Amino acid sequence: MAAGRRRGGAIDGTRERTIRHRDWHRWTRGAFATAGAAALCACTAGPQSTLDPAGPAAAQIAQTWWLMFWTAAAIWTLVLGLLLYALLRGHNTRALARPQRLIVGGGLLLPAVALAALLVYGTVTSGRVTGLGETVDAVIEVEARRWVWEFRYLDGDGGVRATSTDALALPRGRMVEFRITSVDVIHSFWIPRLGGKIDALPGRVNRLRLRADRAGPMRGQCAEFCGLEHAHMDFAVRVLEPDAWESWLAARSVGAPGDAERAGGGQIDPDPAAGAGGDSDANADTGDEAGAGRDSGPHPAAGMRGDAGAEAETAQSAAP
């Protein structure tokens, strides 16, 4: 009887340890899941977050990203499940009768079907990302140069209405066509919260159509390495109501008093009628000050280029 009690006590102790071990695993999984969800949610916000869309093109890109994410997560979970099954099935179980089925189904058919489905989905929705077939409400010419963005706002006849430097103003709810080019090297025009990016190439004009449906902090960025100041080649984006946007353009029209100063510094002046800009106002002012700081002083690279040019002219004049 004493031996039986000892065996019973050992069984009870083992069961208790098993229960505690199971509870600890449940708590750990819950903690990791909560932390992962919090980290994922934190990554979806910000002035340059593609997962916080403010327009239809960016919304389609974000939807495609989430589709690919959950598809990859499902496949990853399936693979781990099969791995655990293979590890825990034991040594005395019967081997797979037809392993070719698992190889063909999991190694050939499943990847082919998943990739084909994503390809068809991306092809069908590409029109929403590029804005093809949409009516254009405004046209803005974008000229990139190291390390500044120049914006020219065109009227219905193709004339320049207004200009700005390192600061972009957009009318809310209207489709804008950007005509993008470069004057020196290859750059890349990108506003993550509004849509995809497109290269700015010297001697070529690329077109991109974007629409901003809501205001908020936004920032554009050069997405192609272009030199020493590439990381600072950004611009502030401000979304205004259509009436406020027209007033903004009128205040910065070509030939207006103070236009030369604004073009040189890229300043976005506070506009009482532009309350619809929301939090992006402060962001725009910050970006403009940064742009003005970049333009105001000589850059080390510019000094090196100037010294090289002076040496070349000296050598040329000394030549017979």
Domains in the chain, CATH or no CATH each: 138-295 (2.60.40.420)
114-172: pLDDT as tens digits:
889 888 888 888 777 877 778 899 999 999 999 999 999 999 888 999 999 999 999 99
Q: Which pLDDT does position 198 carry in this prediction?
A: 92
pLDDT category at 105 given cuts 50, 70, 90 is confident
On the question of pLDDT at 289 being above 60, the answer is no
Question: Cα–Cα distance between 225 and 44 in angstroms, integer?
Answer: 25
Calpha distance 140→177 (Å, rounded): 6
pLDDT digits (tens, 9 = 90+) for 197-221: 999 999 999 999 999 998 888 999 9
* Site of tokens 């207004």: 162
Residue 281 has pLDDT above 60, yes or no: no
d(CA 49, CA 102): 40
DSSP letter (8 states) at residue 105: I
Cross-strand pairs, 199: 188
Instruction: Tell me the pTM.
Output: 0.63
- Residue-wise DSSP of 192-252: TTT---EEE-BT--EEEEEE--S-S-EEEEE-S--STTGGG-EEEEEEE-HHHHHHHHHHT
CA distance 135 to 194: 17
**Distant-in-sequence contacts of 114-118, Cβ < 8 A, 24+ apart:** 114/71, 114/75, 118/67, 118/68, 118/71
